[in-house]
Amino acid sequence: MSPASATGRAAARPAEAPSRKEAPAGGRPGGEGRRRRIRTQLPSTPWLFLGPGLLIVAGFSLYPFVSTVVDSFTDRRTLIGGRYVGGANYQELIHDDMFWTGLRNSLLYMAGVVPLLVVLPLLLALLVARQMPGIAFFRSAFYTPVVASVVVVGLIWVWLLDDRGLVNSVVTGLGFDRIPFLSDSALLLVSAMLVTVWKGLGYYMIIYLAALANVPRELHEAASVDGAGAIRRFFTVTVPAVRSTMVLVGALSSVNAFKVFSEVYLIAGPSGGPGGDDTTLVMLIQRTGTGLSGRVGYASAISVVVFVITLGLMLLVLRANRKEDA
């Protein structure tokens, strides 16, 4: 009997599990000595399975993270190795006006985008969750911006919102003054928020669709029997049923909004809007730390601050969720 056929038979006969117990791992026949040797290797077996994944995490997540933290205490440049400077980068950061501008804009961005991304995709999901002819088209259409390149999306919106773009042509055609979407600091940030919301709707809609599929139909029927209308059912049945998904969407969108880069970069320009007024923290990291003269040490210090704030946000959301569960 070949080892291969033994393996096949063992796999095909789960009822004979006790007999497999005697067989070595992998179903290969062997003597007592071989069994003992393999047993002694058992504790390390999980590490063999975990090894590749751990190495990838260590190489691509842990190492860059530790390296960033280490760099934040140095004056490292892109091409010149750094010297230890203690907390000098963090002290500089406190006195850097652009850092505070970046922090303010990142927080504003989050405050503007997250409520919309929690509520609008849910409403959209309720619309497309209905089974009716042609609904698949609308589901795909709403999801299209998610798969579109953010650069292409950004450029399209720049053309739309330009002083002589489509939106302003309509506005002036109706007899109103042009709206300075791309030259006013506040409107620039709002325009970038709109792009983020428009691009994110489809993604979060899919998450809500999955959650809505798990809401028992009987709950809606019972509420209807009790005389609840559509709006009341939404607040008393749908929202409580998808509350944990709303928390998840809130957490994901707030982290993404806080780390916003592409939309603001494309719409407000690399210098971050007029006078840098629309610079976000991640834009500041990119501007400070990249290029041949990049100040990697200082950019790393900003990155560490962004990490701490993001982590804090996640913990706050989780804690709020746990309290409500309790």
Partner 1 sequence: MRMSTRAATAVAVALGSALVLTACGSSDSGGGSDSAEGKVEGTVDFQTWNLKTNFKDYFQGLIADFEKKYPGTEVNWIDQPAENYANKLSADAAAGDLPDVVNVAPDLVYPLAKAGLAMNLEEAAGKYRGEYLPGAWKSHELPGMDGVYAFPWYLNTGPMFYNKKLFADAGLDPEKPPKTYGQLFDSGIDMAKRSKGKIAMLANIPAVEDFGRYGVELMDEQGARFTFNEAKGVELVTEYKKLYDAKALDSQALTNQAEGAGRKFQQQSIAMNPGGALDLQKYKKEAPSLYRNIGITPAVNNTGKDNMYVQGLMVNKQSKVKPAAVAFAHFVTNAKNQMDFAHEVTVFPSTEGSLDDPFFTKEDGTDEGRVKVAAAKAIKTAVNYTPAVFSEQMKVALRNEVAKAMQGKKSPKQALDDAVAECNRLLKTA
Residues that bind partner 1 (CB under 8 A): 43-44, 47, 58, 62-63, 66-67, 70-71, 74-82, 158, 162-164, 178, 180, 182-183, 188, 268-276, 287-288, 290-296
**What's phi and psi for 84, nearest 5 deg?**
-65, 125
Q: Name 216's Cβ contacts closer than 8 Å, sequence gap at least 6.
A: none
* Residue (171 or 314) nearer to partner 1, CB: 171
* Residue (54 or 239) nearer to partner 1, CB: 54
Can you spell out the DSSP letters for 141-202?
HHHHHHHS-HHHHHHHHHHHHSTTSHHHHHHHHTTPPPP-TTTSHHHHHHHHHHHHHHHHHH
CB of 290 to partner 1, least distance (A): 5
Q: Name 250's Cβ contacts closer than 8 Å, sequence gap at least 6.
A: 114, 118, 317
* Residue (80 or 316) nearer to partner 1, CB: 80
CB of 138 to partner 1, least distance (A): 33
CB of 270 to partner 1, least distance (A): 7
* Residue (169 or 310) nearer to partner 1, CB: 169
Beta bridge partners of 74: 84
* Residue (56 or 316) nearer to partner 1, CB: 56
Residue that the structure tokens 């909004």 belong to: 257
- Give the Cα separation of 112 and 241 in Å (integer): 25
CB of 90 to partner 1, least distance (A): 16
CB of 147 to partner 1, least distance (A): 22
- Give the Cα separation of 212 and 128 in Å (integer): 11
- Give the Cα separation of 135 and 255 in Å (integer): 31
* Residue (50 or 239) nearer to partner 1, CB: 50
CB of 95 to partner 1, least distance (A): 12
